[in-house]
């Protein structure tokens, strides 16, 4: 993707391998700096105050053009939790719901992949 959203680094905590919640966002206007800034601000505010997420990584597509790589998304987050039960609490967490309310008008698609560690 060659959008105008600047890459922002994240400061992930130690990775908890019990439960991973990976979310991909496709913004409606990925070339809009205004939309990107609004999305990033809302996302960072939400993640900085989430009580339940352990690892909190925000990413943009890497420059890895290969047939098996899908770089069509605009942002991703990787969150980890000590258990499914804690992740279930996160789903109803007020700051999570507020993020959705603030930002859902900015995205056209969201795809979630949840997994548990081996």
pLDDT digit string (tens) for 83-96?
999 999 999 999 99
Here the CATH number for the domain that contains residue 42 is 3.30.70.100
Q: Is 44 in contact with 103 (CB distance < 8 Å)?
A: no
Q: Is 6 among the domain residues?
A: no
Query: pTM of the predicted model, to two decimals?
Result: 0.85
Residue 45 has pLDDT above 70, yes or no: yes
Q: Is 118 among the domain residues?
A: no
Query: Which among 95, 15, 8 has a CA at the least distance from the CA of 54?
Result: 15
Number of domains in the chain: 1
Q: Is 8 among the domain residues?
A: no
Q: Is 79 among the domain residues?
A: yes
- Computed over every residue of the chain, the mean pLDDT equals 90
Query: Element (H or E) spanning 41, and its range?
Result: helix 33-49
Q: Is 84 among the domain residues?
A: yes
Q: Is 2 among the domain residues?
A: no
- Give the residue, 61 or 11, on which the prediction is more confident: 61
| Model confidence band, residue 33 (pLDDT cutoffs 50, 70, 90) | very high
**Domain region containing 42:** 19-61+71-113
């Amino acid at each position: 993707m060659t959008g105008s959203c600047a890459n922002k680094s994240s400061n992930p905590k130690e990775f908890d391998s019990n439960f991973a919640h990976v979310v991909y966002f496709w913004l409606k206007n990925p070339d809009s700096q205004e939309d990107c800034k609004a999305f990033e601000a809302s996302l960072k505010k939400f993640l900085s105050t989430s009580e339940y997420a352990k690892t909190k990584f925000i990413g943009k597509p890497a420059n890895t053009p290969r047939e098996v790589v899908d770089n069509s998304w605009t942002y991703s987050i990787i969150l980890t939790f000590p258990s499914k039960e804690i992740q279930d609490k996160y789903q109803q967490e007020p700051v999570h719901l507020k993020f959705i309310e603030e930002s859902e008008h900015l995205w056209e698609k969201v795809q979630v992949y949840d997994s548990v560690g081996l």
